[in-house]
């Protein structure tokens, strides 16, 4: 396979991007899923050719960090495990996000995996699609209870059931919780995706790499009118996608098969080492369906576990170092690489997050907090309820999410130490105004 790739700052499986701690290889997983044998291959590659750091990303992919001089050997080992694209130019555009519980969720309307397979095949095989930006992303939502609905996508499709008919609602440059732009028949999902991407590529100038850039000049109504010439559209009114509690990615939860559960486990701050990943893979073979599913919460699911085996599997996962309880403060924190691995990081976000988790746990608090080493917000594609933005080593500005405010939200306090942040959270939890 030729590895002649266009320039990009985004890592891929075939494009290793350099950071302070070495090269980064991003492995895009089909629907976030990976077999136990493939997980072993990732662990082996990270151990043999890199620094042994494996990261779960906020797009349900994996990254290997700290890659040294044997980049070719690492890439070859991952390709041999079936983790690469079908064509070199197709690697960048495999940006399709599903629910981590696609096909097994108790509340799903549609199993999205067959359509996802069609879409991924088209993205990789159709040369026209290779002109899309490495950041251009599509979401396919089957109505599952476990779904990340806050990450913005260039195109989203969501299963809808109205008057005993199932359809795909869709929207552009937003999230499934937005008002949909329209809908198509169930069997037109693939045609809709192809038509939207073709129209985008025809209409967008080279610098307009995302749907939001195009819609800033071309009105949504004009785009939809042109789209309707290619695929039959129908308005859909009065529908609203409602999010479920995000703790569904932690602990044991029932599947459609009442005798089976999936178990959600959080690697501390999204990081695994080779022994941890191998251990989870072995548990998947022994107790699950020999697969793992990674999530947009930088965690993983072990599906297909017999319900009566769940306590044993959870204990084994915790012995490996993963968090399986929603009461664990560390399970609710996300942090970017920080100054130990990124030249733009102003603080050791990973170390500071661990310190904050210990302080929060002591006081019985587990808020969802995002620690970002700079304003780029690499660790979170959505705006977290609470953001700590580094300003210097060990010091952060504190923001609370506010829909009326741009960026991270409303600035609450400046230049706080981690101890001061923990104390402030403790004070707020005790305040009757926040009850």
pLDDT tens, position by position, 411-432: 999 999 999 999 999 988 776 5
Q: Give strand pairing partners of 413.
A: 398
pLDDT of residue 3 exceeding 90, the answer is: no
**What integer is the mean pLDDT of 52-58?**
96
By three-state DSSP, how is residue 205 classified?
coil
**What integer is the mean pLDDT of 386-402?**
97
pLDDT of residue 9 exceeding 90, the answer is: no
By three-state DSSP, how is residue 141 classified?
strand
Range of weakest confidence among 139-148, 270-279, 281-290, 426-435: 426-435
The residue among 169, 211, 206, 171 whose CA lies nearest residue 186 is 169
> Residue 4 to residues 91, 124, 154: CA-CA distances in angstroms?
12, 15, 26
pLDDT in the model for residue 242: 87
**Please, what is the average pLDDT of the chain?**
94
- The whole-angstrom separation of Cα 324 and Cα 248 is 11
Architecture of domain 109-142+150-242: 2-Layer Sandwich (3.30)
pLDDT in the model for residue 5: 60
pLDDT in the model for residue 428: 86
pLDDT of residue 130 exceeding 60, the answer is: yes
Residue-level length of the chain: 435
Is 331-434 in the same CATH topology as 246-325? no
Residue pLDDT, tens place only, 179-229: 999 999 999 999 999 999 999 999 999 999 999 999 999 999 999 999 999
- The whole-angstrom separation of Cα 228 and Cα 205 is 21
Range of weakest confidence among 243-247, 300-304, 333-337: 243-247
Q: In what order do the strands lie in the sheet with 153-162?
A: 96-97, 138-141, 153-162, 165-174, 182-185
Asked if 15 contacts 95 with a C-beta cutoff of 8 angstroms, the reply is no
Neighbour-count burial for 239-274, b at 16+ CB within 10 Å, e otherwise: eebeeeebbbbbbbbebeeeebbbbbbbbbbbbbbb
The encoded tokens of residue 374 equal 């700079």
**How does residue 10 score in pLDDT terms, banded at 50, 70 and 90?**
confident
DSSP state for residue 122 in the 8-state scheme:
H
Count of Cβ atoms closer than 10 Å to residue 207 Cβ = 6
**What integer is the mean pLDDT of 304-313?**
98
**What integer is the mean pLDDT of 167-178?**
97
Task: For domain 246-325, give the CATH number.
Answer: 3.30.70.3340
pLDDT in the model for residue 430: 73
Helix (H) / strand (E) element for 197: namely: helix 189-203
- The whole-angstrom separation of Cα 108 and Cα 88 is 34
Scanning 204-254, the segments in alpha helix (DSSP H) are: 211-215, 220-228
**How does residue 2 score in pLDDT terms, banded at 50, 70 and 90?**
very low
| pTM score of the predicted model | 0.94
Classify domain 331-434 at the CATH topology level: Sulfite Reductase Hemoprotein; domain 1 (3.30.413)
Asked if 156 contacts 171 with a C-beta cutoff of 8 angstroms, the reply is yes
Q: Between these two residues, 375 and 7, which has the higher pLDDT value?
A: 375
The encoded tokens of residue 93 equal 């555009």
**What integer is the mean pLDDT of 386-391?**
98
pLDDT of residue 13 exceeding 70, the answer is: yes
Instruction: List CB contacts of 128: < 8 A, sequence separation 6 or more.
Output: 197, 198, 201
Q: In what order do the strands lie in the sheet with 333-335?
A: 333-335, 369-372, 386-392, 395-400, 410-417
Asked if 347 contacts 393 with a C-beta cutoff of 8 angstroms, the reply is yes
pLDDT of residue 66 exceeding 50, the answer is: yes
pLDDT in the model for residue 6: 60
- The whole-angstrom separation of Cα 215 and Cα 169 is 19
Residue pLDDT, tens place only, 336-385: 999 999 999 999 999 999 999 999 999 898 999 999 999 999 988 889 99
* pLDDT over 90 percentage in the chain: 89
pLDDT in the model for residue 91: 93
- The whole-angstrom separation of Cα 75 and Cα 16 is 9
pLDDT in the model for residue 243: 82
Q: For the chain, first and last CA: distance in Å?
A: 59
Residue pLDDT, tens place only, 317-329: 999 999 999 999 9
The encoded tokens of residue 427 equal 């004070």
> In terms of C-beta density within 10 A (0-12 exposed, 13-18 middle, 19 or more buried), how is residue 105 classed?
buried
Domain boundaries, the chain: 109-142+150-242, 246-325, 331-434
């Amino acid at each position: 396979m030729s590895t002649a790739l266009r320039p990009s700052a985004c890592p891929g499986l075939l494009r290793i991007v350099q950071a302070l701690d070495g090269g980064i290889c991003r492995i895009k997983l089909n629907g976030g899923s990976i077999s136990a044998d493939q997980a072993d291959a990732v662990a082996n590659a990270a151990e043999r050719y890199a620094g042994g750091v494996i990261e779960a990303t906020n797009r349900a992919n994996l990254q290997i960090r700290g890659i040294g001089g044997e980049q070719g050997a690492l890439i070859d080992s991952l390709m041999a495990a079936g983790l690469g694209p079908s064509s070199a130019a197709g690697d960048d555009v495999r940006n399709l996000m599903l629910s981590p519980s696609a096909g097994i969720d108790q509340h799903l309307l549609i199993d999205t995996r067959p359509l996802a397979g069609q879409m991924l095949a088209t993205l990789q095989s159709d040369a026209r699609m290779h002109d899309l930006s490495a950041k251009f992303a599509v979401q396919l939502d089957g109505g599952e209870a476990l779904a990340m609905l806050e990450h913005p996508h260039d195109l989203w499709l969501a299963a809808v059931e109205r008057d005993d008919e199932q359809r795909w609602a869709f929207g552009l440059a937003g999230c499934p919780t937005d008002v949909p732009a329209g809908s198509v028949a169930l069997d037109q999902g693939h045609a809709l995706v192809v038509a939207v991407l073709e129209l985008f590529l025809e209409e967008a100038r080279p610098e307009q790499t995302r749907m939001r850039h195009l819609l800033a000049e071309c009105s949504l109504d004009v785009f939809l009118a042109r789209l309707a010439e290619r695929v039959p559209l129908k308005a859909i009114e009065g529908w609203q996608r409602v999010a479920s509690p995000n703790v569904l990615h932690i602990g044991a939860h029932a599947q459609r098969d009442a005798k089976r559960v999936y178990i959600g486990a959080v690697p501390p701050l999204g990081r695994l080492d080779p022994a941890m990943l191998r251990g989870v893979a072995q548990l998947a073979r022994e107790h699950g369906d020999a697969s793992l599913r990674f999530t947009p919460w930088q965690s993983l699911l072990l599906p297909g576990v017999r319900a009566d085996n769940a306590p044993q599997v959870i204990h084994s996962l915790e012995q490996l170092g993963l968090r399986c309880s929603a009461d664990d403060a560390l399970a609710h924190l996300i942090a970017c690489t920080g100054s130990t691995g990124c030249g733009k990081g102003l603080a050791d976000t990973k170390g500071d997050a661990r310190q904050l988790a210990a302080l929060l746990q002591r006081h019985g608090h587990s808020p969802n907090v995002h620690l970002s080493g700079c304003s780029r917000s690499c660790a979170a594609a959505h705006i977290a309820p609470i953001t700590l933005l580094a300003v210097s080593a060990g010091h952060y500005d504190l923001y609370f999410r506010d829909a009326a405010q741009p960026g991270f939200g409303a600035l609450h306090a400046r230049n706080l130490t981690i101890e001061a942040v923990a104390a402030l959270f403790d004070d707020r939890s005790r305040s009757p105004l926040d009850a």
